[in-house]
Amino acid sequence: MEKVIIAPSVLACDFLKIGQEIEMLNQSAADWIHIDVMDGVFVPNISFGFPVLEAIKKQTTKILDVHLMIVNPEKYIESFAKAGANIISVHYETCPHIHTTIQQIKDAGCKAGVVINPGTPTSVLKDIIFDVDLVLIMSVNPGFGGQKFISNAIKKTKEVSQLAQLLGKKDLKIQIDGGVTDQNAKALVDAGANVLVAGSYVFNSSNPIQTIQNLIDITA
């Protein structure tokens, strides 16, 4: 089985020491860095935007995986691409013209992802799965780090994995975001996930580099 990709979410890092935190991730086995952008409208929290992304880009060669929890994401795709995003994921719930928005992300030179909330069924992905590089299944309601994992995400992971197989969609990244720990990582990967976001579990641990490695090892 291919190695799982760990994408630590910097939402949980110490922002006073963000340079050191990124340096730590550079030394770690994490392949991606997950960037949570929140607007206080689509989700009840505001995080950070372009200056933070630009600063992180200057200090890492890891893949920057940008998760947009904002309304009207189509207005900002170009700017996120210019600021250093390699992957941009948009919520299905924010995009009345999801196909157009996905094409816009690709035209900006990035890989494109679609995200579904815990209350959104996987069936909405049927007609967009061929156009995306990544499906992100939320395993918490978006807005905050450190929430409890919603176990229904395991069932949804299986559904997306089966849908991809059924439709012959190869190389799909199936990413899980929210409440990922050593307690659920293996079940998620066994269900078909190949990218795990982990925020508080990584950054609140006493040895984040080891914690990232452990997540890889227990899912192998």
Residue numbers annotated as active site: 36, 177
* 105 sits near ligand DX5 (criterion: CB under 6 A): no
* E strand or H helix that includes residue 219: helix 208-219
* 143 sits near ligand DX5 (criterion: CB under 6 A): yes
Which residue of 28, 157, 200, 211 would you call a contact of ligand DX5, by CB under 6 A?
200
Interface with ligand DX5: number of residues (CB under 6 A): 22
* Residue in the shown chain whose Cβ atom is closest to ligand DX5: 199
**What are 69's strand-pairing partners?**
38
Alpha carbon distances (Å) from 69 to 61, 109, 183, 193, 211? 24, 20, 26, 21, 27
* 53 sits near ligand DX5 (criterion: CB under 6 A): no
Which residue of 22, 110, 180, 216 would you call a contact of ligand DX5, by CB under 6 A?
180
Rounded to whole angstroms, the Cα distance separating 136 from 146 reads: 18
Alpha helices by DSSP H, 130-207:
152-167, 185-191, 200-203
**Secondary structure, 3-state, 31-59:** CEEEEEEEECCCCCCECCCHHHHHHHHHH
143 binds, among ligand DX5, Zn ion, none (CB under 5 to 8 A by kind): ligand DX5
Write out the binding residues for ligand DX5, residues 22-51 only, by CB under 6 A: 34, 36
Interface with Zn ion: number of residues (CB under 5 A): 3
Write out the binding residues for Zn ion, residues 54-93 only, by CB under 5 A: 67
3: three-class secondary structure by DSSP? coil
Residues that bind ligand DX5 (CB under 6 A): 9, 11-12, 34, 36, 67, 140, 142-147, 177-180, 197-201
